Amino acid sequence: MRDDRHGLDRSFGFDRVEPRERQRRIRDVFRAVAPRYDLMNDLMSFGIHRLWKRRLVRNLPLADPVVDLAGGTGDVARLLAAAGAGAVLVIDPSEPMMRAGRPASDRCIRWLAAEGERLPLRDRSVGTLTVSFGLRNVTRLADALTEIRRVLKPGGCFACLEFSRPAAWLRPFYDPYSFHVIPRLGRWVAREPAAYQYLVESIRRFPDQAEFAAMLTAAGFDEVGWCDLSFGIACIHRARRPGAPA
């Protein structure tokens, strides 16, 4: 367990508020950064986040319907549509984020505002569910995983792309960059340094590779595994809901 995983709650006062208030504050963060979110992702990662997202979609077993949870501006949803998904539903709690992506979206992409902990979908109704850099922003991670398993069909695939724990040799370089350079980029480009300080610190709170895999197993998934990207800066987790596809 990382010693700094609760740093975000202390810095932003999230440990002193109810879950609904925490949700509101997180929504405020994404409302502030929505207009330049994709540009900031390109600058922060030198464009590598696009390669990571393509890797997420590559060879992913797509079974309709496909849901991209915390889909934001729809960049992953467009990749899923291009890979052959018949229809993609983007679910995100931030309507400003979704509005920022709608003009460039394909017609087969639909949009729905909802929280990851309470998905407005029927049991066993989703063939494939993806989430990219979004689970660390839910209020109750275990509840979100339970919901994802609930809505997946038996045999349905869950794939998660998230920041993780870099290799030990990389951390002395990566940590100063993430804590000092990224908030400054947020100030210069998005004019929201506090929001990007939150986004950076939220990475530190998210479980590392093995911890998250254990959470998936505890939530009732099987075939749990992960693949590190860029020496562990990011990680793709995959799992399935047990059972044979109908």
- Residue 245 domain flag: no
Q: What is the pLDDT of residue 31?
A: 64
- Residue 151 domain flag: yes
Domain that holds residue 71: 7-240
Q: What is the pLDDT of residue 179?
A: 73
CATH number, domain containing residue 120: 3.40.50.150
Q: What is the pLDDT of residue 60?
A: 96
Q: What is the pLDDT of residue 54?
A: 96
- Residue 52 domain flag: yes
Domain count, the chain: 1
Could you please report the per-residue DSSP string of the chain?
--TTTTHHHHHHTGGGS-HHHHHHHHHHHHHHHGGGHHHHHHHHHTTHHHHHHHHHHTT----SSEEEET-TTSHHHHHHHHTT-S-EEEEES-HHHHHHHGGG--TTEEEEE--TTS--S-TT-EEEEEEES-GGGSS-HHHHHHHHHHHEEEEEEEEEEEE----TTTHHHHHHIIIIIHHHHIIIIIS-HHHHHHHHHHHHHS--HHHHHHHHHHTT-EEEEEEEEGGGTEEEEEEE-SS---
- Residue 110 domain flag: yes
- pLDDT tens, per residue, the chain with 246 residues: 333 332 333 333 334 445 565 566 666 666 666 666 677 777 777 889 999 999 999 999 999 999 999 999 999 999 999 999 988 999 999 888 898 887 766 678 999 999 999 999 999 999 999 999 989 888 899 999 999 999 999 999 999 999 899 999 998 888 887 777 776 766 666 566 666 666 777 778 899 999 999 999 999 999 999 999 999 999 999 999 999 887
Q: What is the pLDDT of residue 32?
A: 64
Q: What is the pLDDT of residue 4?
A: 35
Model's pTM, two decimal places?
0.83
